[in-house]
Structure 1
């Protein structure tokens, strides 16, 4: 199939959908967006005023509000203008992509409209060149021919951009289509993002509809109940949830009655979208697609991000997700327990954030944690920061820094604005201080600190006893805020780009310390970071965090676990699976055992952070090449961290608001977002 002409549908919700037949490349005019760090300065008292700050400092571009209503409205226009073969279209709201954006092809589910990503078009359009496949209601293209259509599109794109990956995003039927393309093209760099793929069709009740529809005479209009059970039940329940989300009961009843006519029109659109003949054809198509793909799953070797819904009323998606994860070698699975079949139309689902948080966005053959990193959007930063608002109120952090003249101030003014800068500090129990530290610097100083984290957090497709951290959304926070695997190469590249870098030399050993080891540094013998910092003239800022003993007490530590045979064997196995960071060292900090200590929570005390005076390395490159000199500076940094710890431990004894109840009383009589006083500096 070759492209002969472009076809334009009428304007819907302020945008035009450009429809292209075949595989002709689509050119969309755009202005490239800057990746500079936006100014985000705010005081603590307006910490939660995200929208005002975003408008003031241009954290994100203005977006058109879209909802599932837009899906139905634009589907209605597509249905009126329908006819012809399957074709690609690129929504105009996707025309602001960044430089070297990879191509993303969206393969639709049973509806065939190609509008399944409508809630994500604007965000996806900033980082992808998006084409959506539209399969008209009257079209009867065979599954194998649909596969060939996608293959021709990919082949055309590779001629223009041979070094960039091709993203295939498929839901339901589209998921099978994406898998089939990957099977037939193992030599092409394809990334699959699959939402509830229909590979479990043979186990679902949907297949029972095929003989039922075949038995119903065409003259009888009895197909509607089947359509309702197939799509309307799941889709309309999602609409209802969207309409009444967060509303009180009385208002909910009012909303439902007001939107009754709207719901009726949605049913009408669904009826036009899936008339009897089309529904029968689509079910047969899914049946063929599922059988085709399941017989070839062992040949799939593409990178896959699999998204499974827990309340899918059409397919057994959650169980199927676990099966596919075991079968497919490069499959990362994410569960969405409260979502239905039409995952991309659910409110609260952000596909761009999911892609970024799972490290699946790349512009070349391999993911680059430096060049492929995208700044957090306003919504992403809110998701990172808001869960810590309660902790922020409970702990009322005291943050101190040191100016160049040695003066200690109660803010972050002492952290140099211009990089490269290396923040070197002590790791509290379970890394309790990391997120508050990074987000506070981002908010108050407009500085994005790139944390150096253990590589096991970033490992994908992990098999074995060690938990697959890439499956755990709790680590999405550090990835969205720019954390990278600790390595000399990443150090070099971050310093080259004049970044602010966060390093914990004690690593896991400090974060998982044992009873009685609070505030004890476990640093390696070698001065690992000094010469790298000196090479780029980076300022080294030693800092300390104190307060872990006020939050919880370790009552069952590593030594206790190793006395129990079962846990001892488990920890040894897990250790053998862990990436070795200091393989040539026999020091205790090099032999880190991943484990989870038993911690007894306490009423939260107060968190104290203290950044010491920056240490200059500018002009000392030649001097610090000498191992002895670099080791002396290393010991100076370490002693400064210990001095910061001692200072905070001593001063907090004189803090009248160290305990929880005095702080709560102060906040209750003032404001819960007001800054609570502390000791005299």
Structure 2
């Protein structure tokens, strides 16, 4: 795609930042494992979970992949976010993000690009109380159909930590939840973008310092078996991906519970849990 000069300039700046950001990431000490599961040729579809922080997984997943196998990840953005204009839209384009339409994904797959998708889309970001680290994929199976159609391996990738930066105070079925859904429906035509009441540090909106835990799962082969209907196989691929990702999230939550340094000042994370050697 031929981007305008301002986007190309931002792309160069982001590239320079990415090349020198290792010390900053290492200082924050995220837990990252499963990198050995990334296909070296870069031809795979990353399928992840959105968290309330939103930006944590969008930044950390491409960073980890680029650092490990040297390829650029192309995130697929929710159509609503893909319509953003001005500087935010330019930044998304410079970062490699594209609108998550089937034709866009097919084009990227034809060029063997590394792609990142969050099937829950923007509706998975606002989490009401009790919805932390749950997937909201109802009716979302397009990623599986495209992967099957193009023989693209799927790598599930889970992030734990982002849903704890802010704590939700309300459940979805509360008076506030219903009111927020009604407002979302009236203003944007989508009641699935309702916003919960949240707090950060104490009663404030200052983000809580939380260590991030990231894991890449084993690739899922999407090649349609002989004699199996492709549409039925796509549903099975979706099920296997969702099950694999939910298992990753459960494992990371368990790992975090046993990490004695997780709740300390970020300076203490240097002694926190580290991935086991592959």
Task: Give the TM bin, normalised by the shorter chain.
Answer: 0.7 to 0.9
Which of the numbers 254, 263, 272 marks the counterpart of 1:650?
254
Which of the numbers 223, 234, 237 marks the counterpart of 1:630?
234
**1:382 & 1:571 partners in 2: Cα distance?**
38
**2:15 & 2:90 partners in 1: Cα distance?**
11
User: Which residue pairs with 2:75 in the alignment?
Assistant: 451
Q: Displacement of 1:562 after TM fit?
A: 5.0
Point out which structure has higher relative CO (alpha carbons under 8 A, 6+ apart).
2
Structure 2 residue 130 is matched with structure 1 residue 516: yes
**2:101 & 2:164 partners in 1: Cα distance?**
33
Q: Displacement of 1:664 after TM fit?
A: 0.6
Change in CA separation of 1:609 and 1:666 when aligned onto 2, cut-off 3 Å: closer
Q: Displacement of 1:437 after TM fit?
A: 1.6
User: Which residue pairs with 2:153 in the alignment?
Assistant: 539
Change in CA separation of 1:508 and 1:606 when aligned onto 2, cut-off 3 Å: same
Change in CA separation of 1:391 and 1:414 when aligned onto 2, cut-off 3 Å: closer
| Structure 2: segments with no counterpart, 5+ residues | 202-207
- Given that residues 547 and 608 in structure 1 are in contact (C-alpha distance below 8 angstroms), is that contact kept between their aligned partners in structure 2? yes
Structure 2 residue 259 is matched with structure 1 residue 664: no
Q: Per-residue displacement from partner, 1:539-598 (whole Å, max 9, x unpaired)?
A: 11112111124322122576554555xx6664233223xxxxxxxxxxxxxx55445443
Q: Displacement of 1:532 after TM fit?
A: 2.0
User: Which residue pairs with 1:639 in the alignment?
Assistant: 243
Q: Per-residue displacement from partner, 1:78-114 (whole Å, max 9, x unpaired)?
A: xxxxxxxxxxxxxxxxxxxxxxx8xxxxxxxxxxxxx
The structure that has the greater radius of gyration is: 1
- Given that residues 623 and 629 in structure 1 are in contact (C-alpha distance below 8 angstroms), is that contact kept between their aligned partners in structure 2? no
Q: How many residues align?
A: 268
**2:135 & 2:181 partners in 1: Cα distance?**
25
Structure 2 residue 60 is matched with structure 1 residue 436: yes
**1:641 & 1:623 partners in 2: Cα distance?**
27
TM-score for the superposition, normalised by structure 1: 0.36
User: Which residue pairs with 1:678 in the alignment?
Assistant: 273
Q: Per-residue displacement from partner, 1:450-495 (whole Å, max 9, x unpaired)?
A: 1110122232xxxxxxxxx323x45544321211101110111111
Structure 2 residue 187 is matched with structure 1 residue 574: yes
| Structure 1: segments with no counterpart, 5+ residues | 1-34, 36-100, 102-126, 129-351, 358-375, 402-411, 460-468, 577-590, 668-675
TM-score for the superposition, normalised by structure 2: 0.81
RMSD: 3.2
Which of the numbers 211, 214, 217 marks the counterpart of 1:612?
217
Q: Displacement of 1:607 after TM fit?
A: 0.4
- Given that residues 457 and 470 in structure 1 are in contact (C-alpha distance below 8 angstroms), is that contact kept between their aligned partners in structure 2? no
User: Which residue pairs with 1:548 in the alignment?
Assistant: 162
Q: Per-residue displacement from partner, 1:349-377 (whole Å, max 9, x unpaired)?
A: xxx345676xxxxxxxxxxxxxxxxxx32
